[in-house]
């Protein structure tokens, strides 16, 4: 029987609870939860190590192990320090305005449109709206990235040449 396993070292200031494949990662910045369920892959914790194991030799199972490793490392980073994305607001034809209302960002006057466009802010994400830049921070990399993607998609142009009309909101820095 072939056993494939990946070992991840837990940073010193991070605590982990593993209850029925639901891992809770607690650190100085935040506590993050995620459920890892797969019939052929298991996660075990011993001392300051996490082992992800499988007896399968299928490519999809190996890929799932790599994905879970990346998710756990992102959770460790988020528990220690917030993930941050920076976006740039570009307009050449009509000056657009952005307002934050609870868990949505309202975009008005995009390309001279009378209506408004909306972008959803995911849970636990902080958005700092500037005049020409937007900074998105939060402990969960998935939520921060999805919020940035929601903003980009809200300003997507249809039936226009993007070489000429470059108006919109674009991700400029991830880190």
Considering only residues 149 and 21, tell me which one the structure prediction assigns the higher pLDDT: 149
Check if 4-80 and 83-174 are the same fold: yes
Q: Is 90 exceeded by the pLDDT of residue 170? A: yes
Q: What is the mean pLDDT of residues 5-29?
A: 91
User: What gap in Å lies between CA 113 and CA 48, rounded to an integer?
Assistant: 55
User: What gap in Å lies between CA 144 and CA 146, rounded to an integer?
Assistant: 6
Q: What is the DSSP string of 52-71?
A: EEES---HHHHHHHHHHHHH
Q: Is 80 exceeded by the pLDDT of residue 2? A: no
Cβ atoms < 10 Å from Cβ of 27: 20
Tokens of 130: 């500037």
The structural domains of the chain, with segments of one domain joined by +, span 4-80, 83-174
To which CATH superfamily is domain 83-174 assigned?
Answer: Ribosomal protein L6 (3.90.930.12)
Q: pLDDT-derived band of residue 1, with 50, 70 and 90 as boundaries?
A: low
pLDDT in tens, 122-162: 999 999 999 899 999 999 999 999 999 999 999 988 888 87
Q: What is the pLDDT of residue 94?
A: 86
b/e map 41-56, b = 16+ CB within 10 Å = bebeeeeeebebebeb
pLDDT in tens, 39-54: 999 998 888 899 999 9
Residue of 108, 54, 91, 76 lying closest to 169 (CA atoms): 91
CA 50 to chain centre: 22
Q: What is the pLDDT of residue 167?
A: 87
CATH code of the domain occupying 4-80? 3.90.930.12
Q: What is the DSSP string of 85-126?
A: EEEEEE-SSS--EEEEETTEEEEESGGG-SSEEEEEPPTT-E
């Amino acid at each position: 029987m072939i056993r494939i396993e990946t070992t991840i070292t837990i940073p010193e200031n991070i605590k982990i609870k593993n209850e029925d494949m639901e891992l809770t990662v607690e650190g100085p910045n935040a506590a993050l939860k995620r459920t890892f369920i797969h019939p052929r892959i298991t996660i075990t914790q011993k001392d300051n190590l996490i082992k992800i194991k499988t007896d399968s030799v299928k490519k999809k199972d190996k890929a799932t192990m790599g994905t879970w490793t990346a998710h756990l490392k992102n959770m460790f980073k988020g528990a220690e320090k917030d993930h941050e994305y920076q976006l740039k607001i570009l307009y050449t034809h009509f000056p657009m305005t952005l307002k934050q209302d609870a868990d949505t960002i309202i975009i008005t006057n995009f390309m001279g449109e009378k209506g408004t466009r909306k972008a959803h802010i995911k849970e636990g994400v902080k958005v700092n709206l500037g005049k020409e830049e937007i900074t998105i921070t939060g402990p969960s990399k998935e939520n921060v990235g999805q919020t940035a993607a929601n903003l980009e998609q809200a300003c997507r142009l249809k039936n226009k040449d993007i070489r000429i009309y470059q108006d919109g909101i674009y991700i400029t820095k991830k880190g």
